[in-house]
Structure 1
Amino acid sequence: MKQWIIDETQQNERIDKVIVSLHGDTSRTHVQKWIQDGHVKVNNQLVKANYKVQEEDTIALEEPEVQSTEIKAENIPLDVVYEDQDVIVVNKPRGMVVHPAPGHYTGTLVHALLYHCNDLSGINGEARPGIVHRIDKDTSGLIVAAKNDHAHEHLSQQLMNKTTIRHYKAIVHGVLSHKKGTIDAPIGRDQKDRQKMAVTDKNSKPAVTHFTLEETFQAYSYVTCELETGRTHQIRVHFHYIEHPLAGDPKYGYKKTLPIEGQALHAETLGFVHPRTGEDCLFTAPLPADMVGLLEDLRKQD
Structure 2
Amino acid sequence: MSPLSQPLITLLSSLTARSETAPCLRAAGVVITDGAWGTQLQARGLPPGTCPDTWNLSHPDLVEQVPRAYVEAGSRIVLTNTFRANRLALADHGVTDSVEAINRAGVEISRRATGGRALVFASIGPSGRLLLAGTVTEEELMTAFDEQARALAAAGADALVVETMADLDEARIAVVAAKATGLPVVACMVFDSGADQDRTMMGTTPEDAARALEAAGADVIGANCGQGIEGYVGICRRLVNATDRPVWIKANAGVPTLVDGEAVYATSPAQFASASRAVVDAGARFIGGCCGTTPEFIRALAREIGS
TM-score by length of 2: 0.27
Q: Which is higher, the Rg of structure 1 or of structure 2?
A: 1
Greater share of strand = 1
Higher-helix-fraction structure: 2
TM-score by length of 1: 0.28
Q: Which has the higher contact order (CA 8 A, sep 6+)?
A: 2
